[in-house]
A and B are shown apart, each in its own frame.
Chain A
Amino acid sequence: GAVVSQHPSWVICKSGTSVKIECRSLDFQATTMFWYRQFPKQSLMLMATSNEGSKATYEQGVEKDKFLINHASLTLSTLTVTSAHPEDSSFYICSARGQGSSGANVLTFGAGSRLTVL
């Protein structure tokens, strides 16, 4: 139980285009989703926290107009990288927090999405 699906796992786009990454909780309701970014050979940096039905809270230094986060339902959050540039190339990972089928609190990570901007 407590599975998070992230899609796409790989995406290549041209500079200037926008890319949407989806994060879905498959078997539980995710009241909160967290979005992380990971540069090669580095750690995960929290970008933003989103609660279902409200605006995301961005970490310091993260451009909210650049990285649009939507959490419109209890099972889906999306991250849109707008007007992507090569420096946005990175590994983006989501995690979802909620209650599993047993009622226990869960926190599960998606498998990540690798974005390459040409």
Chain B
Amino acid sequence: AQSVTQLGSHVSVSEGALVLLRCNYSSSVPPYLFWYVQYPNQGLQLLLKYTSAATLVKGINGFEAEFKKSETSFHLTKPSAHMSDAAEYFCAVSASLSGGYNKLIFGAGTRLAVHP
């Protein structure tokens, strides 16, 4: 079984400050890990994913995440927040599967607010 825990349902940062969104996972098999962003009334946009290659993954919009197996974590960071980063962020885990991705299990989400 797999699960994801996102610590902090709401995170608020100042524009230009570091963004840190926390994600811990549980998986009985080697995981694939994902971060998605969702703007109001829109679908999901993939920020980045870990699929057992480099543990430090760089994504779009300046985001990156580091896979730490010993800590079962996959925290999302961005050095400098921008107003446009305000959105809902979801961490997701999937069992690695030869031939493709398996179903994704999502965390509860973290709403990021960025204030001037």
Contacts and interface: CB of A to CB of B under 8 A. Distances in A.
Interface of A: 6, 31-32, 34, 36, 42-46, 49, 93, 95, 97-99, 105-107, 109-112, 114
Interface of B: 36, 41-44, 46, 90, 94, 99-101, 103-109
Contacts of B109: 42-43
B103 A109 contact: no
A79 to B, nearest CB: 15
Given A34-B104, A44-B106, A105-B99, A114 B44 contact: no
Given A43-B108, A43-B109, A46-B105, A97 B43 contact: no
Contacts of B90: 43-44
B24 to A, nearest CB: 15
22 contacts: A32-B100, A34-B103, A34-B104, A36-B106, A42-B108, A42-B109, A43-B106, A43-B108, A44-B44, A44-B90, A44-B104, A45-B106, A46-B104, A49-B103, A97-B101, A98-B100, A99-B100, A105-B100, A107-B100, A109-B46, A111-B42, A114-B41
Nearest to A4: B43
Question: Chain A: interface secondary structure?
Answer: strand
Contacts, number: 47
Contacts of B105: 46
Nearest to B9: A41
Given A42-B108, A43-B106, A43-B108, A93 B43 contact: yes
Contacts of A6: 43
Contacts of A111: 42-43
Nearest to B102: A97
Contacts of B108: 42-43
A101 B107 CA distance: 30
Shortest beta-carbon contacts, A-B, top 9 = A111-B43, A107-B101, A112-B43, A109-B44, A105-B100, A44-B106, A43-B106, A43-B108, A97-B100
